[in-house]
Chains A and B, each alone.
Chain A
């Protein structure tokens, strides 16, 4: 703080609290709705304070009655997809960045630009042809089909390249004099020195993977392969009946909890990673 202005500070806090309340309001309403029964959620006005049905709704959700896919299954699918995408992206990006920075080889720049090109081809603009490729490989309704087409990452490759460029050359020379080959150097020096970047990237990519929607919607037709995020849409389209809002809101809560927890508990590393890497 530059000067002592109690009044301005007070106003700042008040406005911030109001602003935060506005941002959190939809989440609050979801929490409230997930703790009431179906009947209460058909009466106007809807409640703004929590009810006592929270555990009953949660149990109902995990019993899997009346849904196309039981929620523990969709949660497992989401977890598998998110981990495959985030770990996959990190692994293939770190090794290709290592090759591009530490080796001199033919077509190095050509490969680099090819990876760069993927930045310009988000899945949304190539959905139909990519879908055809996956269908031809027989990868529909598989974890591989869900994750592999999203795994190439220009952003992660750039970030690792940037990090590697800050590692002093002397370390590599020293390791070479000591007789360590490139892979030994990679595992013993490069990876330990990129730990924070790997962690930050993991948070960002885990959220990216978990929250995928359009792609799983296209490649999964078997309810056992649905992800929890996309299963919400089926619940919204309950046909003739009014949507069962208490269960929809409970599903939404369960579906958004893992990424929210990851962001909150790894906040420091996430914020640093986000604001450093994407600039």
Chain B
């Protein structure tokens, strides 16, 4: 945790941590406490009067079918994004691990989505799938699939999942490639000498050995799908049609800034905070054990 030797100065270390601590207090801790406090209040839309209502806001959420639906929807969304994105990335990484020529070019092209802002990723996919103009609906029409994500809620959900997974492929790819690189070559060679083909080796050696990375990525992807996909959804569907793509983070924004239900929105923030804390704890507990091969 700390060096064997260290400086003993009375005020300097406080000065050095001061900026970070000040920002943390003002813009992180204080707002979080505020959210916690507001979640116990019932405020009118103009902020003129408020009343302390204990857990009423939470009870209301628990009774709200809309909110519970948003919960299951978010779970479905994040698991689908993680599965789709990690599946593709693992597949690409396994292939890229085999080839020597051109692997740099493949990597350069595959990391581009990482740099694209979520809202821009959403815009690109919106354009591709535009019901009247888009290229993909045009081809889907040929095989007589009528694409309209503005009306069809399962199509809307698929589209946001595809866009969100697309953006995350790069990240997963880089981690899978790094994990595969760290597997000792002698293991693979020994298996090859014993007559195991590429598929067999992947199944029995590579995949089990990269499982710590896979688990780490699963957590990271779920955090990503929960919190970093706001821009994608805002650009593509804005939560619609109906509420069919309104995930939890989007609902906090919608209820708070558009619907002006401050107490309800704060209660949702508090629930989200608990989810992040849970996910972070899982992630860090896992990181401690990641070296165990």
Contacts and interface: CB of A to CB of B under 8 A. Distances in A.
Contact of B20 (A3, A48, A93): A93
A186 B33 CA distance: 35
A178 interface: no
B115 A152 contact: no
Interface string B1-15: 011111111001110
A173 B5 CA distance: 8
Interface residues of A, number: 98
B20 A26 contact: no
Interface stretch (A49-57, A63-71, A205-213): A205-213
Contacts of A230: 119
A121 interface: yes
Contacts of B110: 20, 23
Contacts of B124: 26-27, 29-30, 252
Interface string A231-273: 0110010000000010011001001100110111001001100
A272 to B, nearest CB: 9
A222 interface: no
B127 A101 contact: no
Given A16-B96, A260-B115, A48 B135 contact: yes
Contacts of A127: 252-253, 256-257, 269
Interface in B76-132: 88, 91-92, 95-96, 98-102, 106-121, 123-128, 132
B169 A213 contact: no
B27 interface: yes
Contacts of B126: 236
B280 interface: yes
Given A16-B106, A20-B110, A120-B273, A229 B13 contact: no
A161 B75 CA distance: 35
A120 B276 contact: yes
Contacts of A256: 115-117, 120
A80 interface: no
| Chain A interface helix/strand/loop/mixed | helix
Interface stretch (B53-61, B151-159, B226-234): B226-234
A126 interface: yes
| Chain B interface helix/strand/loop/mixed | helix
B93 to A, nearest CB: 10
B20 A275 contact: no
B68 interface: no
Interface string B222-263: 000001001100110000000000000100110011000010
A125 B4 contact: no
A18 to B, nearest CB: 10
Given A126-B32, A148-B23, A214-B230, 8 more contacts: A3-B192, A42-B133, A46-B134, A125-B272, A211-B117, A232-B123, A259-B116, A267-B108
Interface of A: 1-3, 5, 8-9, 12-13, 15-16, 19-20, 23-27, 29-30, 33, 41-42, 44-46, 48, 91-93, 95-96, 98-105, 108, 111, 114-115, 117-122, 124-130, 132-133, 148-149, 151-152, 157, 165, 169, 172-173, 182-183, 207, 210-211, 213-214, 218, 229-230, 232-233, 236, 245, 248-249, 252, 255-256, 259-260, 262-264, 267, 270-271, 274-275, 278-279
